[in-house]
Structure 1
């Protein structure tokens, strides 16, 4: 067992895990399923990919003087609200996934080239409160990506029941569909009992 650590390598490893988990959630689904909104606020799989691509280009690119060669139009000041959270019919799966892969290559190059204590300026933050270190930026992007990968877990489960972090490791308790149905019913009963108890104590 080793206790030595390389901060950049650790940050990159966990970020890459989240990136790949997010993209895996698109596999095997139709164009409709990767785009359809499954929450009242419109959360959808391809939109999550589009969004995190912009996050990487911004925090691990433009913030450190390395803007994208062709900034996506939905990141411009005149873009419509939430334009980065869904894909239009003309924005293909291939183009969005390709953009995300290019964004993470661009971000990785920033991480490799600069020390973690490098100071950058976030272009869309208010002047005087717009500085952050590269370390802070990577942690922010890593956290954001894992958060949205979690959203994607739930959305994918709602679409076809597919769950887990990766194809080769689902990180789920063992059990067939009957076991999961029984487990869910048990949780439902416990929730109702707790609610009844709370109401009685009123």
Structure 2
């Protein structure tokens, strides 16, 4: 597998991880803010799909043709990070699939050294290559998939990329509670001795 295929494979995996965090959730749980700054699962999907269209679209002269009101300069700040009731989950999932398809077409049709310009980056950094943007979006998507992992665990206790994920230790809820308690005790002890 060459470098471009490897990067695209990682990007596709992280997209799927992020989108999979919506599986089985109610409308409320998919949208509910779980942090003081309002981080929510459906908003993360909306954000990643939106910025990916920009990075693999406008940056390489391949606009998607979609006008995303939440990205306009007149839009409310952080409008791409949450989903009002007037926008359906199905619309956001469709945007995610459209964005992935459009991005994949750009990636597959250009060489890694293809030049692009990120118009929203400063002039000293806005000249890029497809390679740089692929790495950037792998990191961006993985970062938000990590946020989604924690948000989903806070909502219903689901952990890992999918049920039975071998990267998550198999423990009962009682064993997880004991594990968490042990970590809390260690934190308290360290806080008292170093405080």
Query: Which band: TM-score by shorter chain?
Result: over 0.9
Question: Number of residues paired by the alignment?
Answer: 195
RMSD of aligned Cα (Å):
1.1
Structure 2 match to 1:83:
79
Structure 2 match to 1:161:
157
Aligned residue runs from structure 1 range 169-188, under 5 A: 169=165, 171-188=167-184
SS at match of 1:116: coil
Distance 1:26 1:18 in 2: 14
Structure 2 match to 1:139:
135
Uncovered stretches (5+) of structure 1, i.e. residues with no partner? none
Q: TM-score, normalised by structure 1?
A: 0.93
Q: TM-score, normalised by structure 2?
A: 0.96
Post-superposition CA distance 1:81-107 (Å, at most 9, x none):
000000010110000010011001100
Once the two structures are TM-superposed, the CA of residue 78 in structure 1 deviates from its matched residue by 1.2
Residue 197 of structure 1 pairs with residue 182 of structure 2: no
Distance change >3 Å, CA 82–CA 173, structure 1 → 2: same
Distance 1:70 1:146 in 2: 24
Match of 1:37 among 30, 33, 39: 33
Flag the structure with larger Rg. Answer: 1
SS at match of 1:67: coil
